[in-house]
């Protein structure tokens, strides 16, 4: 749905191979963006037991802060400052909101973040309006990186991919090679034991929440110019994000990674395909008139693309209720 914003221009009169190459690139890109968000969400969920409903809202805040700061101080400083701002907001939410709500249980925490998501969307649309913003790709990156067959692949998308991969590698190093990473990893599986070992759990939570929000903000800053920057972007991405982490298995980082890529690729390919049952097996008898069957028969894969993640969710729940790599019950 999101990655296909440029589809009509790109996929006009293209060969199958070209479609595969471009869709794979776009799919991996969308998947890496999803992972920037789902990794933070997963770590926060595993450590604190709270599913942050407002995570996609932090992504949206990143995009809007990025837009505003780009106007004031330019894109490159904004790339650094906007995620820091979002991270600070995330820390404040943890410190003054979630920490006080914790005593009322996880449902109250989830509802708090739900209310926040709602309020953030309203505040954003109050300040910036409800229509899409003119958030442009920086001039430095506004050129085609390479040409596949007849399609120019924009350099900015390569830049997005590079940033996402760099963050992914950095996360991997921090988690696997540093002491902080050790604590976070331990907290993923044994949160109580970590507290017993004498770490300042409150501060660890706050920092993890802040870093997770900052990553979401960064995703927003770099995704803003390529996708649409609009006040409903959180509401449209949020549910997909939750599908990703349920699909991958709640609390599993490798699961979140695989699920991000799978959903990114599946959705991008679905958007690019125009086939329908009618084109595969021939049209239905028109004398039957309109019916639900005719609707299903004639709908194209591209039109179904928005519901594909949710179909995957239902299938995985029937086949493997704890998700791809999940081990823990909720």
Partner 1 sequence: MTAATTSASNAAKPAGENLRFYGVWLTGVIMLIVLPLVFSSGGSLTSFSLIGIAIVFALSYNILLGQTGLLSFGHAVHYGLGGFAACHMMNAVVSHGWPIPLPFIPLVGGLGGLVFAMIIGWVMTKRAGTVFAMISLGIGELVASSSLILRSVFGGEAGITTDRTALPRMFGWTFGPQLQVYYLIAFWLVISTVAMYALTRTPLGRISNAVRDNPERVQFIGYDPHVVRYFAYCFAGFFAGIAGGLAAISFEIANSAYLGAIQSGLVLFATFIGGTAYFFGPILGAILVTYLQLGLTDVTSVWQLYFGIIFIGIVMFSPGGIAGLLMMHRPLVRAGSLWSVIPSYLVAIVPTVALACGVILTIETIARYPDGERNPVNLFGVAFNPGSPATWIAAAVLVIGGFFVARLTWMRIADAWDRAATVARDRGHLI
Chain residues binding partner 1 by CB under 8 A are 45, 51, 97, 100-101, 104, 106-108, 110-112, 114-116, 118-119, 122-123, 126-127, 235, 239, 242-243, 245-246, 250, 290-292, 294-296, 299, 303-304, 306-307, 309-311, 313-314, 317-318, 321, 329-330
Give exposure, 280-295, as e/b (b: 16+ Cβ within 10 Å): eeeeeeeeeeeeeebe
Nearer to partner 1, 233 or 243 (CB): 243
Is the CB of 119 or the CB of 145 nearer to partner 1? 119
Q: Which is nearer to partner 1, 115 or 202 (CB)?
A: 115
Shortest Å distance, C-beta 319 to partner 1 = 11
Contacts with 240 (C-beta within 8 Å, 6 or more apart), sequence order: 34, 263, 267, 309
Phi, psi (rounded to 5 degrees) for 261:
-65, -45
Closest separation in Å from C-beta 117 to partner 1? 9
Tokens of 129: 């309006």
With respect to partner 1, which residue has the nearer C-beta, 144 or 321? 321
Minimum distance, C-beta of residue 211 to partner 1, in the bound complex (Å): 21
Secondary-structure breakdown of the chain: helix, strand, coil percentages, each rounded to the nearest 5: 75, 5, 20
Q: How far is the CB of 108 from partner 1 (least distance, A)?
A: 5
Q: Compare residues 155 and 324 and give the one whose CB is closer to partner 1.
A: 324
Least distance to partner 1, CB of residue 321, Å: 5
96 contacts: CB under 8 Å, gap ≥ 6:
none
Please report which residue ranges of 6-15 form alpha helices under DSSP H: 7-10
Q: Which is nearer to partner 1, 13 or 295 (CB)?
A: 295
Please return the burial class of 164, using the count of CB atoms within 10 Å of its CB with bins 0-12, 13-18 and 19+.
Answer: buried
Whole-number minimum distance, CB 109 to partner 1, in Å? 9
Neighbours of 24 (CB within 10 A): 13
Q: CA angle 41-44-50, nearest 5°?
A: 95
């Amino acid at each position: 749905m999101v990655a296909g914003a440029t589809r009509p221009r790109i996929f006009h009169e293209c060969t199958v191979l070209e479609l595969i190459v471009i869709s794979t690139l776009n799919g991996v890109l969308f998947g890496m963006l999803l992972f920037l968000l789902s990794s933070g969400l997963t770590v926060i969920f595993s450590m604190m037991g709270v599913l942050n409903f407002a995570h996609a809202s932090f992504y949206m805040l990143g995009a809007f802060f990025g837009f505003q700061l780009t106007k004031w101080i330019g894109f490159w400083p904004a790339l650094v400052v906007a995620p820091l701002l979002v991270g600070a907001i995330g820390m404040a939410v943890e410190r003054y909101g979630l920490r006080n709500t914790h005593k009322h249980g996880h449902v109250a925490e989830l509802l708090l973040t739900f209310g926040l998501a709602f309020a953030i969307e309203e505040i954003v649309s109050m300040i910036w309006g409800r229509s899409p913003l003119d958030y442009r790709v920086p001039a430095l990156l506004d050129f085609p990186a390479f040409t596949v067959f007849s399609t120019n692949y924009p350099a900015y998308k390569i830049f997005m991919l590079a940033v996402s991969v760099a963050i992914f590698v950095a996360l991997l190093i921090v988690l696997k090679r540093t002491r902080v990473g050790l604590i976070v990893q331990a907290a993923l599986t044994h949160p109580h034991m970590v507290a017993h070992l004498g770490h300042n759990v409150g501060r660890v939570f706050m920092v993890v929440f802040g870093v997770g929000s900052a990553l979401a903000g960064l995703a927003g800053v770099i995704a803003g110019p390529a996708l649409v920057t609009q006040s409903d972007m959180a509401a449209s991405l949020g549910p997909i994000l939750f599908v990703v982490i349920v699909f991958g298995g709640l609390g599993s980082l490798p699961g979140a990674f695989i699920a991000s890529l799978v959903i990114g690729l599946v959705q991008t390919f679905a958007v690019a395909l125009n086939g329908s049952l009618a084109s595969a097996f021939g049209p239905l008898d028109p004398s039957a008139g309109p019916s639900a069957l005719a609707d299903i028969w004639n709908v194209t894969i591209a039109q179904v693309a928005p519901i594909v993640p949710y179909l995957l969710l239902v299938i995985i729940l029937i086949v493997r209720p704890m998700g791809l790599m999940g081990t823990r019950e909720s």
